[in-house]
C-alpha cells in the first residue's frame, strides 16, 4: 500500500514504512499500545493514524458492520442465519451471485452485557475500539431497560437517574465523534387505572403506554420512535388480506427534525418490508 496517498504526517508515514506495516489490515491487527511501541511514535500520532484509517474504511461500505449488544436474552443467531439465507428474496433487485458473495455474518459483532459494569466497559472500550478502526457504522442496544429493571428499587431513583445520564452522555459522545447512529430498544409500560388493576385487565387499549425508563431517559434521546402492531379491527378492514403476516406501525413519537408521522410495515421470513399501498379502505390516513 502506498501510504504517501494518505493524508498523514510525513513522520507517521516514515514510521509505517520503517515498521514494515504494508496494509490497513496490519494496523487493525495491532493494539494502540503495540503500534506506539512498534512505530516509536507518540499517542497523539497513533490516534491521528487510527482516525485516518477509520475514515478510509468508512468510505468503503463493504468493510463496515454493526454491533448488537444483548442485555437480556441471548442473541437470536438462528433468526440471523434465516435472514442471511433469505437475502436473495429481500433484495430481488440485486443479482443472486452478488448476494452469495457477501459474508453478511462476518460484519456483525455481538456483545452480551447483563449488568451495568459490563455494559459500561462495553461502550467505553470495546465499541470505541471498533468505531475507531472504522469496522462498524451502527450500534444496537437491546434493550436499555433490562439493565435497570433489577438493579434499582423505588428508593434508588436518584442513583438510577445519574446512571442514565452518564450512559446517555457516553453514547452521545460516541455517536457524535464517529458519526454513527446508536439505536436503543426500550420497553413500554401500560398506564393502568385502579379499577383495571383490581380486575387484572392490563390491556394497551387507546395506546396508553409510556417508555419504561421515564422522562430521565427520554431527555437523553435525539429521536424517539414507537413500534406497535396494528389493532385487529384495522387489520380486518383490508390490511391483512393484502399483506401476509402481522402488520405493524413505526411512528415518530418525537424528533426535532421530523413532523409527527407513521408508516406501515410487515416482518416476514426474509425480513422487514415497508407497505407502500394498502386496501382502498385505508388509502387515507389520519394524521397523528
pLDDT, tens digit, 9 for 90 and up, residues 148-173: 877 777 788 888 899 999 999 999 99
Per mean pLDDT, which of 191-195, 211-215, 277-281 is the most reliable?
A: 211-215
Dihedral sign, Cα of residue 57, residue 31, residue 48, residue 66 = positive
Find where cell 506495516 sits.
21
pLDDT at 7 over 50: yes
- Mean pLDDT of all residues in 272-279: 72
Tracing cell 435497570 back to the chain, one arrives at 148
List 273's β-bridge partners, or say none.
266
The closest alpha carbon to 12, from 60, 56, 52, belongs to: 52
Q: Is it true that the peptide bond before 242 is cis, omega within 30 degrees of 0?
A: no
Cell 429481500 found at:
90
Question: pLDDT band at 191, cuts 50/70/90?
Answer: low
Domain boundaries, the chain: 1-59, 61-186+213-221, 223-288
Residue 245 binned pLDDT confidence (cut-offs 50, 70, 90): low
pLDDT(207) > 70: no
Query: What are 79-110's pLDDT values in tens digits?
Result: 999 999 998 888 887 788 888 888 888 889 99
- Dihedral (C-alpha) 118, 121, 127, 129: value to the nearest 10 degrees? -140
The grid cell for 163 is: 446512571
Tell me, what's the pLDDT at 244? 53
What's the average model confidence in pLDDT over 136-148? 90
CA–CA distance, 72 with 87 (Å, rounded to integer): 27
Residue 284's pLDDT is what? 36
Per-residue pLDDT band at 34 (split at 50, 70, 90): confident
> What mean pLDDT comes out for the span 32-39?
86
pLDDT at 286: 40
pTM above 0.75, yes or no: no
pLDDT for the residue 242: 47
Per-residue pLDDT, 230: 80
Greater model confidence, 288 or 218: 218
In which band, very low, low, confident or very high, does the pLDDT at 198 lie, cut at 50, 70 and 90? low
- What pLDDT was estimated at residue 232? 53
The strand pairing partners of 272, in sequence order, are: 267
> May I ask the CATH class of domain 61-186+213-221?
alpha beta
Of 267, 268, 270, the residue nearest 249 (C-alpha): 267
Residue of 244 and 66 predicted with greater confidence: 66
Average the pLDDT over 186-204 and give the result. Answer: 63
The CA-atom distances, in angstroms, between 226 and each of 25, 72, 92, 130, 263 are 40, 20, 29, 29, 11
Can you give the pLDDT at residue 54? 72
* 195 pLDDT higher than 50: yes
pLDDT of residue 6: 73
Amino acid at each position: 500500500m502506498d501510504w504517501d496517498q494518505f493524508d498523514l504526517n510525513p513522520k507517521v508515514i516514515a514510521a509505517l514504512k520503517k515498521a514494515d506495516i504494508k496494509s490497513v489490515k496490519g494496523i487493525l491487527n495491532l493494539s494502540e499500545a503495540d503500534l506506539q511501541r512498534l512505530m516509536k511514535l507518540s499517542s497523539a500520532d497513533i490516534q491521528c493514524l487510527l482516525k485516518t484509517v477509520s475514515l478510509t474504511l468508512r468510505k468503503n461500505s463493504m468493510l463496515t458492520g454493526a454491533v448488537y449488544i444483548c442485555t437480556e436474552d441471548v442473541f437470536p443467531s438462528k433468526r440471523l442465519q434465516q435472514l442471511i439465507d433469505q437475502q436473495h428474496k429481500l433484495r430481488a433487485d440485486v443479482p443472486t451471485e452478488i448476494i452469495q458473495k457477501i459474508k453478511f455474518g462476518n460484519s456483525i459483532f455481538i456483545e452480551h452485557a447483563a449488568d451495568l459494569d459490563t455494559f459500561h466497559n462495553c461502550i467505553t472500550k470495546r465499541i470505541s475500539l471498533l468505531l475507531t478502526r472504522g469496522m462498524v457504522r451502527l450500534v444496537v442496544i437491546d434493550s436499555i431497560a433490562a439493565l435497570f429493571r433489577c438493579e434499582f428499587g423505588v428508593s434508588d431513583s436518584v442513583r438510577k437517574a445519574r446512571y442514565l445520564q452518564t450512559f446517555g452522555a457516553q453514547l452521545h459522545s460516541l455517536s457524535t465523534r464517529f458519526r454513527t447512529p446508536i439505536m436503543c430498544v426500550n420497553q413500554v409500560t401500560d398506564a393502568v387505572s385502579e379499577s383495571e388493576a383490581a380486575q387484572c385487565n392490563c390491556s394497551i387499549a387507546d395506546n396508553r403506554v409510556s417508555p419504561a425508563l421515564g422522562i430521565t431517559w427520554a431527555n437523553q434521546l435525539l429521536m424517539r420512535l414507537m413500534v406497535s402492531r396494528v389493532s385487529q379491527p384495522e387489520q380486518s378492514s383490508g390490511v391483512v388480506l393484502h399483506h401476509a403476516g402481522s402488520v405493524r406501525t413505526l411512528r415518530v413519537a418525537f424528533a426535532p427534525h421530523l413532523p409527527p408521522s407513521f408508516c406501515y410495515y410487515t416482518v416476514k421470513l426474509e425480513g422487514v418490508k415497508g407497505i407502500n399501498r394498502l386496501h382502498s379502505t385505508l388509502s387515507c390516513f389520519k394524521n397523528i
